[in-house]
Structure 1
Amino acid sequence: MKNKILYGLTKFEKSANRYDWLGSGVYFWENDIQRAQSWAEEMHGKRAAVIGAKIQLGHCFDISNSSAKEILRIAYADLCKDLINSDAAIPVNRPHPKAKGNPDDNVLRYLDRVVIEHAMILVGDNEPSLFYDTVRAPFQEGFPVYPGSAFREHDHIHLCVRNAELLVDLFDPEEVD
């Protein structure tokens, strides 16, 4: 599959799991091939593969930015109102089902995914010509790197590419110097 994607014979499949942190799209670790490889091996065993990409961010919903966080606050409030009015439960982020890693991480991001997807809808409703091509966010994950540290062993920046046309250059990271 890796070579088929690298040679343009097939496209990435968008991830659309209920727990995907940043909504539907193709996911990348920003500047961390080692972390991507570790995750791929954990998820896919011997079939694991990592593909690097140069990505044009396009119109990026960057959650490290204050305005994006404000949009998320508005989207959350609107979503809660909608769910309460329809007698539906508000999703909750949950820890790993096999108790892997730090139990405080809540790596199954059911709530975050729904809020981000709702934010994308709200933005589109208010500005029909606006489409976010990518979603970018820092995440704390894992146990502290050292006692008392705010740095975690798996902290990373995650990038969700919603517009696959912005994957401008794919490469095999094992072949890069």
Structure 2
Amino acid sequence: MYTTKSGLILGFHGCDEKIAHDLVLQNTIFKPSANKYDWLGKGMYFWENNPLRALEFITDLCNNPQKDKITIVKPAVVGAVIDLGYCLDLTDYYGIKILKEAYEYYEDLSKASGWEVLQNTNPKSISDNPDNLWRQLDCAVINLHHQFRADNGLQHFDSVRGVFVEGNELYPSAGFRDKNHIQLSIINPNCIKGFFLPREREE
């Protein structure tokens, strides 16, 4: 009963400046990501309330282009007004319980079918990173759970929300990291009520 989140939130997505303007002007649609290593499964990705992190991410992608990514000419950020709807929220007990059960189903199905049980890993270029930036396992578990719900006539999730502890300690033995963030994967495009270009704060 309480998994439907009340109210609207803001999400921010890093992209090329042209795409940001096209989204605001409704000249293009926001296409979902479907990489095998996406942290929250397939969906349209946003940083919750975090335009600076979105800009940092897309700027890094611009400076370090990847073969399977579109070319970034000028890094930019587009904001979105979002209603999470029926959300698989991995910041609360109910969502975490669902994900644990989803993993157990994934593991049993993989073993019975002779499939490899995937692991979260890092790209070869940064194999010593403790954050495991390629989340093949998490992605597979979440996507399989979506399929399970569809196959069994259960209510589908409109979105997935997760909090991530990432980066370096802010100070020795700190419980906080310099890249901690909340990420959103929007599955139902109707959750996105509109796009906007973020403004600079006026003094």
**Superposition TM-score, scaled by structure 2 size:** 0.81
More helix by share: 1
Kindly provide the amino acid, as one letter, of the partner of residue 21 in structure 2: N
For 1:98 and 1:132, the matched residues in 2 are separated by 34
Residue ranges of structure 2 left out of the alignment (5+ in a row): 1-18, 64-72
2: distance between equivalents of 1:160 and 1:176?
A: 27
| Larger deviation, residues 36-45 vs 23-32 | 36-45
Alignment partner, residue 103 of structure 1: 129
SS at match of 1:27: strand
Q: Is the 8 A contact 1:75 1:122 kept in 2?
A: no
Which runs of no fewer than 5 residues in structure 1 stay unpaired? none
Aligned residues: 175
Query: For 1:1-177, what aligned pairs fall within 5 Å after superposition?
Result: 1-45=19-63, 46-99=73-126, 103-126=129-152, 128-174=153-199
Listed one character per residue, the Cα deviations across residues 34-77 of structure 1 (whole Å, up to 9, x for unaligned) are: 00000011113443221101101111110011111111111111
- Taking a change above 3 Å as real, the CA distance of residues 110 and 96 of structure 1, as seen in their structure-2 partners, is same
TM-fit CA distance, 1:5 = 1.1
Amino-acid identity (%): 34
Taking only aligned residues, the RMSD between alpha carbons, in angstroms, comes to 1.7
User: TM-score by structure 1 length?
Assistant: 0.92
How many angstroms apart in 2 are the aligned matches of 1:176 and 1:14? 30
Alignment-mate amino acid for residue 21 of structure 1:
W
How far apart are residue 117 of structure 1 and its match?
A: 1.0
1:86-140 C-alpha deviation (Å, 9 max, x unpaired): 211111101243218x7110011000001111222233344x2511111001001
Partner letter of residue 103 of structure 1? N
